[in-house]
Amino acid sequence: MKPDTGEADMTLPTSSYLKRALTIDALMTGATALLLVFAAGVLGRLLAVPEPLLRYAGIALVPFVVFVAIIARRPAVPRGTVLAIIGLNVAWVAASVWLLFGGRIQPNALGYAFIIAQAVAVALFAEIQYVGLRRATST
């Protein structure tokens, strides 16, 4: 008999709700990554955000997108893996808030709106994934 290593190691069947939540996160984050990488110059001028920051943020999203897409396709996932995805989403939101209010950049009003809107969207992904995790855990 295998010893209990904790709830984080528990493997859960990937419910259709959780699968959709992860898939939508991967698709939307992938689209954002493409936008940030290939339109960094235009966005930088439009938002008054440094072009390299936008481009590197887009590049940084690529491994996350691949990881989430792979996990979304699995029939079962470790609870800890989903918690890690949620945690990374929460970290992105925190970094976005820090970016706006940390004094490192001076975006214009549209830049603030863009950063806030993407942070809210990512926070919603985290919330939806958490709901999916809770549903999978309770069944």
**For range 57-67, the mean pLDDT:** 98
Single pTM value for the model: 0.89
β-partners of residue 112 are none
**For range 32-46, the mean pLDDT:** 98
Are 12 and 137 spatial neighbours (Cβ–Cβ below 8 Å)?
Answer: yes
Residue 9 φ then ψ, to 5°: -85, -5
The predicted-structure confidence for 68-111, as pLDDT tens digits, reads as follows 999 999 999 999 999 999 999 999 999 999 999 998 899 999 99
